[in-house]
């Protein structure tokens, strides 16, 4: 099976060119095309035809096919459904903020974490993505919109730290000035709380934003929502977060989806504030997304605002996430779930 061209970085291209007995500078030329998001080998006009034919024999650029695109009528949000070469389906989202264009990408086709509130849970797990498939999502969206992507969040389908090596490799490549040239501070990685991998990630020394899906003020509620909490208790998770802030100097973002009557009461806000007191962090409150078959309901707006007020009065920095693309199911997992259901005989 041919390799996906985006899966090779500059060192890989140097080895490839050396194996073919070609001048070393050819590796840099090919890598530069890949870094710019080339869509066709025919675009590589500074390469001789013979080399392009050789590349066509050894590699493919068909590793990511646009299956569907939905554009919001409410804002500039667009949702992309991509089909991988093996038929697996993933989702990516383009969002427009005052600071520029941001893309949320998937790191896996499906997810193994089994969170009870997540649309990805019911759609099954395909496989982890390569770093090239993650890069290809960014390039495809930038090319489609004729835009420059300045921020990338790995918060789509999948648990990024369950695909550790490929995610770290993606981050380094996305930061490369010869490629996407995105500042590490404009790259974000989300995790549901794989504590050993969080510690390993901190030790990589990458000054990216770490977002932790918390969603509860204590172990009892968190275990109800997230099976991973049975393996890694609340205290060990917060200890890993404190270690990250101490070693990197970067604050941790806690994602907290609010579910009606489950984790959105005043006592929950007060308990959360007490647990986070003194930590370098920010709480991102999320009015939970509802989807067909889901067992939780979105918190009422007054309850969301009350929760926010109690956190801020306790000295915890918090905001309510602006809802984007509500009319196109922009929350990751919903469209993949629908498509996988349609494929099931």
pLDDT at 238: 98
Architecture of the domain whose range is 64-343:
Alpha-Beta Barrel (3.20)
Token couple for 61: 């650029």
List 108's β-bridge partners, or say none. 128
pLDDT at 139: 97
Q: How far is CA 63 from CA 2, 27, 39, 71, 140, in A?
A: 10, 21, 11, 23, 11
CB 209 within 8 A of CB 187: yes
Task: List alpha helices for 183-233, DSSP H.
Answer: 195-203, 219-225, 228-231
End-to-end CA distance of the chain: 28
List 213's β-bridge partners, or say none. 255
Active site residues: 91, 332
CA separation for the pair 41, 53 (Å, rounded): 9
- pLDDT tens digits in sequence order for the chain, 345 residues long: 899 999 999 999 999 999 999 999 999 999 999 999 999 999 999 999 999 999 999 999 999 999 999 998 888 899 999 999 999 999 999 999 999 999 999 999 999 998 988 877 667 899 999 999 999 999 999 999 999 999 999 999 999 999 999 999 999 999 999 999 999 999 999 999 999 999 999 999 999 999 999 999 999 999 999 999 999 999 999 999 999 999 999 999 999 999 999 999 999 999 999 999 999 999 999 988 766 666 788 899 999 999 999 999 999 999 998 776 666 665 555 555 555 544 444
pLDDT at 73: 86
Q: Give domain limits for the chain.
A: 3-60, 64-343
pLDDT at 1: 80
pLDDT at 156: 93
pLDDT at 76: 86
Per the listing, tokens 């695109």 go with 69
The three-point CA angle 293-297-300 to 5° equals: 160
CATH code linked to domain 3-60: 1.10.150.530
pLDDT at 344: 45
pLDDT at 345: 44
Which residues, 6+ apart, have CB-to-CB distance to 126 below 8 Å? 86, 88, 89, 108, 109, 110
Per the listing, tokens 């204590």 go with 218
How many CA atoms lie less than 13 Å away from 120 in the CB half-sphere? 25
pTM: 0.92
């Amino acid at each position: 099976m041919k390799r996906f061209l985006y899966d090779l970085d500059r060192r890989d291209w140097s080895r490839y060119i050396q194996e073919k007995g070609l001048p070393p500078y050819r590796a840099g030329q090919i890598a530069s095309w890949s870094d710019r998001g080339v869509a066709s080998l025919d675009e590589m006009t500074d390469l001789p035809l013979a080399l392009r034919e050789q590349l066509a024999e050894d590699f493919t650029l068909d590793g990511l096919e646009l299956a569907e695109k939905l554009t919001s009528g409410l804002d500039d949000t667009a949702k992309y459904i991509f089909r991988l070469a093996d038929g697996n389906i993933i989702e990516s989202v383009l969002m427009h903020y005052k600071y520029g264009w941001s893309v949320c990408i998937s790191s896996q086709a499906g997810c193994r974490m089994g969170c009870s509130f997540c649309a990805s849970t019911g759609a099954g797990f395909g496989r982890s993505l390569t770093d090239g498939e993650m890069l290809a999502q960014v390039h495809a969206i930038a090319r489609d919109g004729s835009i420059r992507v300045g921020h990338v969040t790995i918060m789509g389908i999948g648990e990024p730290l369950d695909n550790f090596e490929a995610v770290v490799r993606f981050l380094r490549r996305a930061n490369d000035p010869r490629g996407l040239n995105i500042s590490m501070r404009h790259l974000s990685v989300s995790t549901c709380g794989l504590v050993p991998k969080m510690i390993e990630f901190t030790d990589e020394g990458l000054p990216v934003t770490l977002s932790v899906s918390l969603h509860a003020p204590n172990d009892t509620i968190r275990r109800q929502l997230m099976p991973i909490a049975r393996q890694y208790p609340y205290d060990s998770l917060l200890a890993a977060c404190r270690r990250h802030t101490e070693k990197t100097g970067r604050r941790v973002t806690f994602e907290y989806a609010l579910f009606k009557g489950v984790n959105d009461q005043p006592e929950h806000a007060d308990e959360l504030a007490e647990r986070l007191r003194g930590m370098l962090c920010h709480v991102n409150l999320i009015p939970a997304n509802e989807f067909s078959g889901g067992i939780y309901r979105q918190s009422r707006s007054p309850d969301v605002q009350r929760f926010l007020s109690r956190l801020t009065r306790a000295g915890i920095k918090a905001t309510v996430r602006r809802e984007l693309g509500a009319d196109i199911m922009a929350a990751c997992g919903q469209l993949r779930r629908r498509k996988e259901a349609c494929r099931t005989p």
